[in-house]
A and B are shown apart, each in its own frame.
Chain A
Amino acid sequence: MTLLPGKVQLKGVQLPFFLISILTVLLISVPLVIVIATSFNASSGVNFPPVGFSLKWYGNIFKRSAFLESARWSLLLAALATFFSTMVGFFSSLAIVRFRFLGRGLLNAIMLSPLIIPEVVTGLTFLYLFNRVRLYHSFFNIFLLHILLTLPYSIRVISANLYRFNLSLEEAAMSLGANRLKTFFLVTVPLTRPGLITAGIFSFVISFNNFTATLFLVTRRNTLPVEIFSYIRTENDPTIAAISTLLILLTMVLVIISEKVVGLERFTR
């Protein structure tokens, strides 16, 4: 079969495609624009278009210590979960991709299962489990939960990278006198870096934003999403819009950094 050039093929259907694209972009971006615009309201109602202009809701974030504390807590959680998820994901992927062993398929399936189990179920199960073993350390429990939730993404991304890995690169390093450890750190790790970084960013964003499953394990201290939730149950002002704007900003910075790093890596291949 010969493929016709895109232009000829799209003739006639070009307009519907164009409209669908525009609609998709709007669906993604309009809520963001509304949230960002709302955060600059001068009034205390959640008005769009905003009434007047002020930064007082941003000020309000920093006046309420609960937000800052929960943000710090969430950041710490996300950082630790990211680190461990990426590490565990890396070594699990190495095992799954490089070795043929009994139960390899099962291990792979189990590692990826959190993707398909509803978060409500995961959260409830964790709560039940931790109660049974009388483990009431909220931070540690949520940390474990977040590793579990982020691990499938880490494994997916890193093993995709490892499947493409040319094993003769490691053999070349060994032929040049590098032992296994040196080969690992000088060849395997640097060449898996794009996968590790992408996995890290996925893990961080997922951990930092997780609400549903985390809600079950929160005790006295809230994570940021839980804090936001408890705030909007009682208050109705643009503070949340301001927080959301900051979070959008943070995520964008992360994505840009990853694009820069991973994009550059790809360029040097």
Chain B
Amino acid sequence: MSEVYLEKVTVRYPKVVALDQITLTIHQEEFLALLGPSGCGKTTAIRVIGGFIAPDEGNVFIDRKRVEQLPPYKRNIGIVFQNYALFPHKTVFGNIAFGLRMKKEGRDEIEKKVIETLKLLRLSGFEDRYPHQLSGGQQQRVALARALVTNPSVLLLDEPLGALDKKLREEMQIELRGLQKRLGITTVFVTHDQEEALTMADRIAILNTGRIEQIGTPSEIYESPVNRFVSDFIGISNILRLKVESVEATSIRCALGDYRFRVPRMERIPSGDIIEVAIRPEKINLNSEPSGTEENVVAGEVERLIYRGAVSLLFVKMGDDTSLVVQLQNLQGQSNPRVGERVHLSWPAEACKILTG
């Protein structure tokens, strides 16, 4: 349907730069998640697209049209706020019909579209209720219906699931994503919940202090975080500071104490002889015996074991002040090592990602 493009957008608040030269394309029919800690600028970004904040510098394009000077009501957007912002003095029908009435559509047309949208969001029969008579999940769907009924160029979602409890939130994630795909509507989704972003988005943009740290598909972000911030923010990461010994054609040999490691070589290697490497806990193997190889193998003592249902997290102390987190599947008949036990860990070279930022 539509494409959104931010070009070197900067927004300054009195004490802080909320967005710092952000350039970002949201492709047609794409579901893009803006993910980051609070204060990272993600909400500012969505408000810039919506027209509630004018950028201090830079341009905003919707449908290849420059819009940064246009007020929200001339942008053809749909927006869902975290608190839903349903009009309390209007019924469900009145709420959903509002945008169509602003467009001065005919009575019959309005009724037809509202009823269609109600059906789409499984809200049929609720049209005469007032927002306060609905549950949180129903209010959420009304807010979504109200944003979608006008057929907007872009749908903006500002932490729309934040107020729902976990179970309902997970249901809505799937429902919302399905709906977005079916309608093929370009969507920008703001969240601080990494699981939500990984579950729903085509691409994720990680924001921090007004800058984009990394942008990519959920698996790119998770598997190949470019820097410490991203690898820390998404999931759990073991980060090792390794001394470079030699750079070879496809890999780099490095060392930490007596241990030797091999990590895949990247196009761009940070200068200096110390590199930071991230390893995901689920990529580390637990062996009872020392394996034959010498590289990417460590031994250590179990410090702590956290049981999490499907998996357990094992904290292994491998050096003076270095600990590794290992994720173990709690398979049938499997017994986990005990605290204090000595274990051997290994991982394939490809599990290591060099952090550049």
Contacts and interface: CB of A to CB of B under 8 A. Distances in A.
Contacts of A269: 88, 132
B339 interface: no
Interface string B214-250: 0000000000000000000000000000000000000
A173 B71 contact: no
A171 B158 CA distance: 12
Interface string A210-225: 0000000000000000
Contact of A168 (B77, B83, B88, B102): B83
Interface string A103-131: 00000000000000000000000000000
Contacts of B51: 174
Contact of B85 (A172, A182, A190): A172
Interface in A166-215: 166, 168-169, 171-180, 182, 186-187, 190-191
Residue among A171, A180, A190 with max Cβ neighbours from chain B (10 Å): A171
Contacts of B146: 172, 176
Contacts of B89: 190-191, 265, 268
Interface string B68-109: 000111011111010101111100000000110011000000
Contacts of B79: 171-172, 175
Contacts of B130: 268
A166 B83 CA distance: 9
Size bin of chain A's contact surface: 20 to 34
Nearest to A172: B85
Contacts of A171: 50, 52, 72, 79, 81, 85
Nearest to B50: A175
A173 to B, nearest CB: 7
A176 B94 CA distance: 13
A190 B94 CA distance: 14
Nearest to B130: A268
B102 A177 contact: yes
A175 B83 contact: no
Interface string B15-54: 0000000000000000000000000000000000011100
Contacts of B140: none
A173 B79 CA distance: 10
A177 B146 CA distance: 12
B318 interface: no
B147 interface: yes
A82 to B, nearest CB: 23
Nearest to A187: B87
B84 to A, nearest CB: 9
A129 to B, nearest CB: 42
A175 B73 contact: yes
B150 interface: yes
B88 A179 contact: no
Interface string B52-67: 1000000000000000
A178 B130 CA distance: 21
Given A268-B130, A269-B88, A176 B150 contact: yes
Contact of A179 (B50, B71, B81, B85): B71
Contacts of B102: 176-178, 182
A175 B132 contact: no
Residue among B51, B89, B150 with max Cβ neighbours from chain A (10 Å): B89
Interface string A151-179: 00000000000000010110111111111
Interface in B263-295: none
Contacts of B156: 175
Contacts of A172: 79, 81, 85-87, 146
Contacts of B73: 174-179
B153 to A, nearest CB: 12
B87 A174 contact: no
A169 B75 CA distance: 17
Contacts of A175: 50, 72-73, 75, 77-79, 147, 156
Contacts of A178: 73, 98, 102
Nearest to A167: B85
Contacts of B86: 172
Nearest to A265: B89
Interface string B125-139: 000001010000000
A164 to B, nearest CB: 11
A214 B309 CA distance: 77
A265 B51 CA distance: 31
Contacts of B78: 175-176
B71 A166 contact: no
A26 B78 CA distance: 58
B71 A176 contact: no
A180 B102 CA distance: 12
Q: Which 8 pairs show the lowest CB-CB distances between chains A and B?
A: A176-B99, A177-B102, A168-B85, A172-B85, A174-B72, A175-B79, A168-B81, A269-B88
Given A174-B73, A176-B146, 7 more contacts: A166-B83, A172-B146, A175-B77, A175-B147, A176-B102, A177-B150, A179-B73
19 contacts: A168-B81, A168-B85, A169-B85, A171-B50, A171-B52, A171-B72, A172-B85, A172-B86, A172-B87, A172-B146, A174-B73, A175-B75, A175-B78, A175-B79, A175-B147, A176-B73, A182-B102, A191-B88, A268-B130
Interface of A: 166, 168-169, 171-180, 182, 186-187, 190-191, 265, 268-269
